Structure 1
Amino acid sequence: MEIGAGTGGTTAPVLEALRPHAEQLHYIYTDISSGFTRHGKEHFGAMYPMVEFRTLNIEEDVGGQGFEKGNTDVVIAANVLHATRDIAETLRNSKALLKTRGWLILNEGANVQDFATLTFGLLAGWWLFEDEENRLPGGPLLGPGMWERLLKDEGFDRVVFPGQEMIESNTVPHHLVVMAQSNGLVRKRQPETMSNYSLPKSNSQGLPRQQVTKIPDTRAGDKREFIEKTIGQCLSAVLEIETCDLDLKKPYSDFGVDSILAIKIVKEINRALGINLRSTDLFNYSSIEKLTHHIVDGFIDSISLPVSSPDETDEPSMEEEIPIRVTDPGRAPGRATAVIGMSVRFPGADNIHEFWENLASGKNSVKEITRWNVDDF
């Protein structure tokens, strides 16, 4: 199994190396983002039929996400595990996947560099960690000694560093490969209190037709509940997860929502509610609860509740199906896209026409940075 496979940068050479043994293997390509797992399936699915593509949040209990514990021979993760809140808990969850004597293989940055801080440090995920005592100063990375201590604390009784001689000479490489063998025992997970909001389960066959509970009157409170449920159902349809797994207060990023998926989700919410959200609203209002408040404040008067037909009762169990379909506008038959305006800012060009001329003439507009002193970095 590969954790945090992303766009497949590590996957590609690993699968190529494993190709001669494909008939004896089952490889699981996972990522927290369903967008990345779909990307992986498009790029590797046909060529490597032994690969399965699934979403996985390694910060959560793996059994609760449908993965069988103690069933995996090798777990690999490249530049992934450091980007979690609690590295000990992350290692515990990773270990839960492994068989006794199974191997965890990591590729991780081993020292904090100014370049990494200047680039990755602009992203919230770089500062996600809450266990500063287990990280190198100034970032989320761990040194060799930290990895060894934490892995042994979690019951990996054999920890190996390929390139050990470099570490012993006090020359820590920028990147580190760590191999750890499980003793088969996993610490019991501490109970958590969750504020999960239970929504009707979706049909797991493809992208489902969502169930929306009918609400017989038009009070603001009923509209708020309708909006809340509709947002959950749209998320469920696009992410292909059960609505009962959604949490009102949890950020969309925890469910693997990226900028590409955000556009699809907003499109479905707009269609289902008949409103006009912008794709950026999903990031400005980063949970179901926050987005519900935003829609109530700005659009509630334009939203109509489903109306029961005369021959139907107002029983709470009555349901109306609202079809949720995720489509690719670029591939829809008979549909064209018109670019009606552009606003750009590029080096060496004051407007789009000058930029086009630069492109057409092959002009190189890359210059030294002048906004700050490069020598400081």
Structure 2
Amino acid sequence: MIVASDFIPFKYSSSIEKGVFKWSAPSNIALVKYWGKKEHQIPANPSISFTLNNCKTITELSFEKKSVASDEFSFNLLFEGQPKEDFKPKIQKFFERVVVYLPFLKDYHFMIDTQNTFPHSSGIASSASGMSALAMNLMSLEKSLNSEMTDDYFYQKASFLARLGSGSACRSIKGKIVEWGNHAEISGSSDLFGVEFPNTVHSSFQNYQDTILLVDKGEKQVSSTVGHDLMHDHPFAERRFEQAHENLSKIKSILEDGNLEDFIKIVESEALTLHAMMMTSMPYFILMKPNTLEIINKIWKFRSETQIPVCFTLDAGANVHVLYPESVSEAVLQFIKDELVGYCQNRQYICDVIGNGVEQLK
């Protein structure tokens, strides 16, 4: 079994004075939700997600060796071409968490230049894509210092590092469907990093579509970090963690056999359970908006009337992810345009599809 100390390098075989790397990393949408964590970003329950394709972060990392040794981290940050001071504390905290695994961090000055392909203020969580893109760049630098590094180790450690920046970021590294967290039925699963779903996926889930309805683009009144922490004393926490294990077992079989009816039941139940945990914590809070509920009811009505296998899921916010097979995309997109966009802020929505994970850019 792999443990965290396996990612601490013994020594480096090469040196590099300066350079630049550039990676894109996607967001992801969980089917079985992760909600609640232990120390060191360890999940309280396993989760599984679709990796997205179009909603991603592109990060360029320039680095140059310091002329004078220093025990401080040195970096500048640009977001979409402009200095972004309010992002810097999160990067500082990330560096502090990972420096034991990347001991070269204090040897260089870094310029982090990052941008999203989706509007930053859209209400789509960018921490997963942002932290996974940064982790890939840092691993590219470490691979330059250790040319013997295997590809398996490279991607596994990148997922491990991304998790320390944002838990769900470990699911954005590699694979169309990624599982994170120890689970008895998922080969190679770990609390330390995400793993590509190891089994054959039914053709029904190839090119699965995700249209994201931007219901509310404002900042959440409760951060995900606070929400996770509220699970520590939650009256229903233990049963929820058991339920996540059970639902992951079920969705594993569903992804293999292509049962869309059962897929819909699990995915929608998981979305509502996530928000039920928020509404029953102390203090309690509601992140759904009235238009979120209007959209859900419209989807239920449309599915009942047409028998088209379209469903919704939610992250920790008000936006609605509409999930459906590629084979019904024409009918579902027409339904979205006719009946759902009116509930979106400024009628905005984003069409996405299952993707393959990170990509190095020139």
Q: TM-score range by the shorter chain?
A: under 0.3
Task: Give the structure with the larger strand fraction.
Answer: 2
For CA contacts below 8 A with separation 6 or more, give which structure has more relative contact order: 2
Task: Give the structure with the larger helix fraction.
Answer: 2
- TM-score, normalised on structure 1? 0.23
